[in-house]
Structure 1
Amino acid sequence: MLAVTADDHSSTGPVAVLANPTAGRGRHRGLLPALLERLATAGRPVELLTAGTPAEAEAACHAAVACGAGALIAVGGDGTVHRALQAVAGTAVPFGPVPAGTGNDFAADSGFPADPLGAVEVIAAALREGRTRPVDLARMTGTDGGDRWYGAVLAAGFDAIVNERANRMRWPRGPRRYDLAILIELARLRPRRYTLRLDGEVHELDAVLVAVGNGASYGGGMRICPDADPTDGLLDVVVGGRFDRRTLMRVKPRIYQGTHVTHPLVRSYRARTVELAAEGITTYADGERSLDLPVRITAVPGAVRLLR
């Protein structure tokens, strides 16, 4: 992967910063002044975006880019990154993720330090030197023709179903709600019929787990697509077949090391374009509620320029 020099991006506009103070249950909230101070060492004006909701955050990012921001920085987890990517994808505006959330998979898979201050140092140095590196993104298109982008993984199986269940629950609050959603959906576990079209080749299969990765990880370090490379112009598709409850719970811990792909019920594919269809599934991309199936997903080489 080649670095892009200052000649490729000469903007001197302000550095826009989207910060999520609740990311990672607020454990890095007090770091924001120090992060902004270190960004300012790049010699560019720094503007903190204001937003009260995820939708407002995404709108603020779009507005910043439209108004000439010279770079966009997201301080938070994968959800914050996901919102920011919608604004910079396919543009020349450089992007920097500062990992400050519960899950920081896009930043980790893109080679940024896990420490927020360390990541900001890398970003500030890249700003000073006018250096960016192109990284692929995945572009989703739904039945209405609307597009969404993601940087890490699209979940369209058991994990997406659990997220959907947890988001509908009003009790309990916090992580226990997700744990309860897992128990409920495990009791209802059944393989679903999927249609996969990989660069035009059709696969009909029954599955419990389905993931389409631009990067390797989701859920805070679970290497669901362990061989995915966000610079190869391809998407990795990992499918877990007709698992029963006991087998799924035995295999699930192996996802953290990526060794689940050796299980006989797991299949892996690679393609530039993935069309995915199933009944009653709402996908989750970068951990965020996304499009209902069916969707078309395309790897877009160099869709974002990272400040590293």
Structure 2
Amino acid sequence: MTAEVHPSVTPDGPVAVLANPSAGRGRHRGLLAPLLSRLATGGRPVRLLEAHTADEAEAVCRDAVADGVAALVAVGGDGTMHRGIQAVAGTTIPFGPVPAGTGNDFAADTGFPTDPLAAAEVMAAALRDGRSSPVDLARMTGPTGPPRWYGAVLAAGFDAIVNERANRMSWPRGPRRYDLAIMVELARLRPRRYKLRLDGEPHEVDAVLVAVGNCPSYGGGMRICPDADPTDGLLDVVVGGRLDRRTLIRVKPSIYQGTHLRHPLVHSYRVRTVELAAEGITTYADGERSLELPLTVSAVPGALRLLR
């Protein structure tokens, strides 16, 4: 996938850096100093933002953009990217996603190197040359509250339910909590009635899996929307229908290759806007807890300028 690259005039100011030291279970913590040094070769001062919670991270990014920065760089996984995107979506401030988390789907699907230092070098070169490239974002609106943005995938089915279950559990810690949540929700698996409007066309389906992708991947390389392209101005909606437990277990591994679309109960649509409603679903966007259904998701072409 490619995006047209344009020179972009950035304001005088520093490069603001949001870093999540716990991303990727802390395995990249020692890379922060060399990352900042690489970014500094872009010719702008580098300012490290301080935040202790996800909400604080989002707030300090918004404040930095309001104060005037040359660019915003997020160091972490998709959740860290998600927080930074809220501050720069729809602006001309370039954004750099340095992949240093457990899941780095947005950075990978938009063409950045998987090595954090190599990604920082790409961003430094873009700063020196004064260039950025546009990509699309997805814009979510619910019945109340302000709109939210995401870059990768919105989960609104089984995977969202598993995430919600895992987040309510205090035991066990680490990945085992997610594994246990999967077991519990598989035992409770049942199709739900979804009401969708795809570019205004109504659909009612019974489904266990629903995802809306601006990019192909979520969950650390699961290509749930394998044909999604963040430069085409469209969203890919993937619906897994009345899959029983055994079938879902068989289909799930094929998501890593994107071959699940071959299953007769899995359908994919390409739209500009999707309205999505179902009972009892809290969605997860870029792996982060997001809006409850119902909501509307729209593709916004060129809503984000990437530092590359």
Common topology (TM > 0.5): yes
> Partner residue of 1:100?
100
What RMSD, in angstroms, separates the aligned Cα atoms of the two structures? Answer: 0.6
> Matches of 1:10 and 1:246 in 2, distance apart?
53
1:64-79 matches, cutoff 5 A = 64-79=64-79
> What's the offset of the Cα at 1:77?
0.1
Check conservation: 2:212, 2:237, Cα contact below 8 A.
yes
Check conservation: 2:208, 2:243, Cα contact below 8 A.
yes
Segments of 4+ in structure 1 off by > 4 A?
Answer: none
Count of residues paired in the alignment: 306
> Matches of 1:206 and 1:98 in 2, distance apart?
38
> What's the offset of the Cα at 1:70?
1.1
> Partner residue of 1:140?
140
Percent identical pairs in the alignment equals 79
> Matches of 1:257 and 1:122 in 2, distance apart?
28
Partner SS for 2:131: coil
Which consecutive unaligned segments of at least 5 residues does structure 2 have? none
> Matches of 2:70 and 2:37 in 1, distance apart?
17
Check conservation: 2:10, 2:93, Cα contact below 8 A.
no
Partner SS for 2:117: helix
2:164 aligned with 1:128: no
> Matches of 1:265 and 1:276 in 2, distance apart?
19
> Partner residue of 2:289?
289
Deviations 1:55-101 (A, max 9, x none): 00000000000000110000000000000000000000000000000
> Partner residue of 1:254?
254
> Matches of 2:156 and 2:10 in 1, distance apart?
39
2:269 aligned with 1:269: yes
Deviations 1:101-157 (A, max 9, x none): 000000000000000011001010001001100000000001104200000000000
2:61 aligned with 1:61: yes
> Partner residue of 2:6?
4
Check conservation: 2:280, 2:293, Cα contact below 8 A.
yes
TM-score (norm 2): 0.99
Deviations 1:144-177 (A, max 9, x none): 0420000000000000000000000010011100
> What's the offset of the Cα at 1:12?
2.2
> Matches of 1:223 and 1:271 in 2, distance apart?
18
Q: Which moved more, 1:278-287 or 1:140-149?
A: 140-149
1:162-241 matches, cutoff 5 A = 162-241=162-241
- Paired residue type of 1:248: L
> Matches of 2:129 and 2:139 in 1, distance apart?
30
Partner SS for 1:132: strand
> Matches of 2:19 and 2:295 in 1, distance apart?
30
Partner SS for 1:298: strand
Relative distance call for 1:173 and 1:276 in structure 2 (3 A) is same
> Matches of 1:191 and 1:198 in 2, distance apart?
20
Which consecutive unaligned segments of at least 5 residues does structure 1 have? none
Check conservation: 2:15, 2:72, Cα contact below 8 A.
yes
Deviations 1:212-249 (A, max 9, x none): 00000000000000000000000000000000000000
> Matches of 1:183 and 1:219 in 2, distance apart?
17
> Partner residue of 2:303?
303
- Paired residue type of 2:192: R
